[in-house]
Structure 1
Amino acid sequence: MTLPVALSGTDVIGQAKTGTGKTLGFGLPLLERVTVPADVEAGRATPGQLTDAPQALVVVPTRELCTQVTNDLLTAGKVRNVRVLAIYGGRAYEPQVEALKKGVDVIVGTPGRLLDLAGQRKLDLSKVKALVLDEADEMLDLGFLPDVEKIINMLPAKRQTMLFSATMPGAVIGLARRYMSQPTHIRATSPDDEGATVANIAQHVYRAHSMDKPEMVARILQANGRGLAMIFCRTKRTAADIAEQLERRGFASGAVHGDLGQGAREQALRAFRNGKVDVLVCTDVAARGIDVDGVTHVINYQSPEDEKTFLHRVGRTGRAGKKGIAVTLVDWDDIPRWQLINKALGLDFNDPVETYSTSPHLYADMDIPEGTKGVLPRAERTRAGLDAEAVEDLGETGGRGSRGRRPERTERSEERPERTRTPRQRRRTRGGSAVAAEEVATATAGTVAPEAPASEEAPQPRTPRRRRTRTRAGAPAAEAVAAAPVVEAAPETAEAAEPVIETKPRRRTRKAAEPVVEAAPEAEATETKPRRRTRKAAEPIVEAAPEAEATETKPRRRTRKAAEPVVDATPEAEATETKPRRRTRKAAEPVVEATPETAEATETKPRRRTRKAAEPIVEVAERPRRRLAPKAAAAAAAAAAAAAAQSES
């Protein structure tokens, strides 16, 4: 019905069901309208009519449909040697530009890449005699209609325009009225086929649970007489998951969806056409115009969005007069959507029967052998599989397609050179110099390192900072304090000595206590100011006479204070009571009573964030101390030697 009207040069709107031959309905008139060298040889055209610019343009919505229409036109125009070129996204620009420079007669392309090349002035559309919009309703759904209008405005005003689609919504009719001149609307239907779908397609609709669907599909695929099968999913993730599950069950399956690269999508379609893969799991990108011989079963794994999508999905089987089976699995949540589709298409499946993988009517309807399980027996695994089909290097341009090419991404990561720069390592330093590992290990273990000579000005070993714990394990420290030597001085020297050691406060330091020495009965007790956020030991008091009063120490906040030892100058001296402090674990700093010649005591500056060892005590009662450092023992021995030398003199 279309060929006589289209060959005469009249604008045509063609509407027919899927699988009725719309591609050749507009393809043959296009091939006849272009001028090729064969026409010059036959005398039907002059050499001046030959051109390398495109003379016909076919706009399609999807890449898969673009390749299929290109192959059909190449087959039909082989005798006349018509040059046909496919232009679509996901491929490299350079091969397409080179082919355009060599000369093309018919171009089949998607709107995005056509606009891109036309904008770069690589594609000349000024010589186009005929324009075909294939599957115009799909371009409307995908949002390509504004791009299509831009392409139409680039074409000559005098041209033939043909529009073909299985469904014709109102927006497409409006497009036809704007850009077509007195079109002839041809709607092809068979007298005995008044339904929306082809009559030789058997429809089966089941209400199925989502967790049981993979098992149902696996058993339906083992039905008697099953050839190639296409499974349609609503989302890309579901399509990838079902393809992987079927592969684990032993089926030769492939996937086609938007997250795959163009090379992987074409690999799956080629394997499906060549018979290496017999199950193709895809989204709606493969629901339009895909024509593969031998497709006997179409399974709607998820309910389609609308009735148009349902028609195009089901139309992949029962093509060119052959019979097919369409199975639709409707989940409980999709019942309202399916009822709208059922009403729009006039089907008789308003309330699908509840079906599971073990239901007897499923085996009877699908002709599944008894005892069939959800795993394909090894004896029937005869297909080569998807890996047998090579992936063509298309020079993909990135975007969504490049993210899906997982094998190539792995290869790129393996080719990446190894890192040559050594990773950064943190080293502990003290005053700009690295800390020796032996010192750190020794200090961490709690052992006593040998003391350096007093004459050297080398920095003291730094003890690693401890965590604040509330455990009291003071047995090793008590033994170390008990072993420290004690030097007793004469009563006369105790009366003469009156040194007071002052220490500068620093923030966030752990500091020992400041001792006070009382030399005479009239001496007043020295008060120590409390400091904030420091852990300080107790202040020992040295009493020189029996009349001396005990020194009171004010408690400090948030500190644990050790007991204050009492230094007795005479046998009548009373011991001083010391108040404990909270949260400190440090021994007291004792004061060494000097002789009259050495009345002044040296002032010791604490280091920040260090734990300082205690100084030995003169005339102290033997009491256990905690954590006496090596410096304290050496200082005590030096004081004892000085006192012994003085007594001998």
Structure 2
Amino acid sequence: MTFSELNIDADMVQALAARGITEPFPIQQQTIPLALSGQDIIGQAKTGTGKTFGFGLPVIQRLGLDPEPGVQALIVAPTRELAIQVAEDLELATAGRSTTVASIYGGKAYEGQIEQLKAGAQIVVGTPGRLLDLAGQHLLDLSRVREMVLDEADRMLDLGFLPDVERLFSLTPAARHTMLFSATMPAPIVALARRFMTRPIHIRASDPDEGLTQANIKHVIYRAHALDKDEVIARILQAEGRGKTVIFTRTKRAAAKLVEELNDRGFNAAAVHGDLSQEQRERAMNAFRAGKRDVLIATDVAARGIDVIDVTHVINHTIPEDEKAYLHRVGRTGRAGRQGTAVTFVDWDDLHKWALINRALDFGQPEPVETYSSSPHLYADLEIPEGAKGRLKPTPPVKSERAHGRAEGGRGAGEGAERSGSSRNRNRRRTRGGSSTTQGTASASEAPASASTENVATGTHDGQGRQHHDGNTAPQRRRRRRRPSGGGGAPAAQA
């Protein structure tokens, strides 16, 4: 079946085809005809099954080719990342129309969003908090909304947004076309649908690859040491056929540390987590989608916005909390029939968590394989080229003795050589100690910075390996070393 056979307008069909989207997913096949007719719909589907176009294309088509300015369609999403993703998909479909899409969410300046509304945007995609904020300031008028979509309603419930959603519903006309989508249907979501929808039809759409989950995603579970994980990941990122990769961490700090480590090793990585500004997160996501960055490190909070088809690998830096979180994470790969690989690291302290996930998902692997970066089975399991190391960039060259001493602030690059009684250093000290009074005074007082550097290079230390730069102690050391040269230098040093 094609989108044309579902009665989608030709301009949208062409816009989708230009991006290689020609065949509708099952949920799109089921929802589009009903939505075009104005039927209220409850769609039960997982993230990544194509539901955005399932509700988006009918909404755009029902508004017409040249809709009047002003908000006529409202799409509510639980997170900023998902709102951005939905808005981008809708902008793709509206490429040949005068319809404009505005993204309204927190964490970003009001000015740009307000300008979009004042410019007459007909479709608004946003998160509950910012939508209510602008509506409360009378900057967002929802009184003319005739198309309303609630996306990932169960996630709204988890985040405590349901009261906000009810307020948004109350700000829109009762006679509207409403669609609600949710992966699960807990009682509060059912109650919400009954209250704000008119005779909705419940559609249960399966994942297009459901039943093939184990076949098209390779699940690899390793018991790994925390100090060796970065090294293992660096080798996995060199696997044959490795494309875009998502790495999940438990904490924001771990994500920030890992992205720095991988970039230092020569990989092209970006991070998405709560400590970054919204602009930074958007920049990272856009770079990942465009292929400018092929490794994305994210926390679970940011995972809902990662809807990229060509992800080949998912790596769980730390084990998810439960089987639902596991499926959500690994669901970033193996999309639209593509092959994917999911690698999960289990710490010793988290073996009990893996036992529960293993039992719930029936993996049949109760004991993860103990794995290190040098383990032969790591290379075999993930098709890593033999001889691959944990660094793409060559190790920076070792600094010269003088430069190293300068960088260390006077700790003395020649310290080890002096301790071992290097004749070269002893000769330098004798030469310095035997210099004229004028020369010794100039190096100590006229150019203190140069003297410090010179002391580092020549290795002037006390008997315990400590180096001295002050004007009192250093001459004493020179006096002791000057015994072979005799005579006139001692009074000069004391002076």
Fold shared per TM-score above 0.5 = yes
**CA shift for structure 1 position 284:** 1.7
Give the drift of 1:354: 2.2
The structure with the larger Rg is 1
Matches of 2:121 and 2:214 in 1, distance apart?
A: 37
Give SS of 2:388's match: coil
Residue in 1 aligned with 2:32? 3
Equivalent position to 1:233, from 219, 233, 249: 249
Instruction: Verify the 8 A CA contact 1:193 1:199 in the aligned structure 2.
Output: no
Q: Deviations over 1:333-367 (max 9, x none)?
A: 22222333333334333332222222222211101
Q: How does 1:422-461 map to 2 (within 5 A)?
A: none
Gaps in structure 1 of 5+ consecutive residues: 38-49, 380-649
In structure 1, the residue matched to 2:56 is 27
Following superposition of structure 1 onto structure 2, how do residues 35-50 of structure 1 map, counting pairs within 5 Å? 35-37=64-66
| Paired AA for residue 122 in structure 2 | D
Are 2:139 and 1:122 aligned?
yes
**For 1:8-87, what aligned pairs fall within 5 Å after superposition?**
8-37=37-66, 51-87=68-104
2:312 aligned with 1:296, yes or no?
yes
**Structure 1's 275 and 6: CA in aligned 2 closer, same or farther, altered over 3 A?**
same
Structure 1 residue 60: Cα displacement: 1.0
Q: CA deviation at 1:199?
A: 4.3
What residue is the counterpart of 1:178 in the other structure? 195
Q: Which secondary structure does the structure 2 equivalent of 1:61 belong to? A: coil
Deviations 1:498-538 (A, max 9, x none): xxxxxxxxxxxxxxxxxxxxxxxxxxxxxxxxxxxxxxxxx
How many angstroms does 1:19 deviate by? 2.7
- Hey, what does 1:159 align to over in structure 2? 176
2:123 aligned with 1:94: no
Asked whether the equivalents of residues 227 and 297 of structure 1 are also in contact (C-alpha less than 8 Å), the reply is yes
Q: 1:98 to 1:244 in 2, by over 3 A?
A: same
Aligned length: 366
Contact 2:313 2:340 in 1 (8 A): yes
SS of the residue 1:297 aligns to? strand
Is 1:17–1:198's contact at 8 Å kept on the other side of the alignment? no
The residue that corresponds to 2:326 in the other structure is 310
Q: Does the alignment pair 1:138 with 2:155? A: yes
Give me the whole-angstrom Cα distance separating, in 2, the residues matched to 1:271 and 1:109.
22
2:345 alignment partner in structure 1: 329
- Corresponding letter in the other structure for 1:103: G
- Does residue 111 (structure 1) correspond to residue 140 (structure 2)? The answer is no
Alignment match, 1:276? 292
Structure 1, residues 573-611: CA drift from partner, whole Å, max 9, x if none? Answer: xxxxxxxxxxxxxxxxxxxxxxxxxxxxxxxxxxxxxxx
How far is the alpha carbon of 1:215 from its aligned partner? 1.4
The answer on 1:343 being equivalent to 2:356 is: no
TM-superposed deviation, 1:56:
0.9
Relative to the length of structure 2, the TM-score reads: 0.70
Q: Give SS of 1:82's match.
A: coil
C-alpha distance in 2 between matches for 1:317 and 1:192: 12
Counterpart of 1:9, as a letter, is G
Q: For 1:409-488, what aligned pairs fall within 5 Å after superposition?
A: none
CA, structure 1 residues 178+268, in 2 after alignment: closer, same or farther (shift >3 Å)?
same
Q: Which of the two has greater helix per residue?
A: 2
Of 10-19 and 244-253, deviating more is: 10-19
Q: Quick one: structure 1 residues 95 and 140, their matched pair in 2 at CA, closer, same or farther if it must change by over 3 Å? A: same
Whether contact under 8 Å (1:53, 1:125) holds in the other structure is no
Is the alpha carbon distance of 1:173 and 1:345 closer, same or farther for their aligned partners in structure 2, counting shifts above 3 Å? farther
Shift of 1:167: 3.7
Q: Unmatched 5+ residue regions in structure 2?
A: 1-29, 396-495
CA contact (8 A) 2:49 2:207 kept: no
- Residue 79 of structure 1 aligns with an amino acid whose one-letter code is G
- 1:143 offset after TM fit, Å? 2.0
Q: Is the 8 A contact 2:223 2:371 kept in 1?
A: yes
Higher relative contact order (CA 8 A, sep 6+): 2
Quickly say closer, same or farther: Cα 1:35–1:156, change in 2 above 3 A.
same
For residue 266 of structure 1, report the CA deviation from its aligned partner.
Answer: 1.3
Q: 1:301 to 1:189 in 2, by over 3 A?
A: same
Distance 2:337 2:221 in 1: 23
Q: Given that residues 87 and 113 in structure 1 are in contact (C-alpha distance below 8 angstroms), is that contact kept between their aligned partners in structure 2?
A: yes
| Kept after mapping to 1: 8 A contact 2:153/2:180 | yes
Contact 2:105–2:129 (Cα < 8 Å) also in 1: yes
How high is the sequence identity, in percent, across the aligned residues?
63
Q: CA RMSD in A?
A: 2.1
TM-score by length of 1: 0.54
Deviation at 1:209, TM superposition (A): 2.0
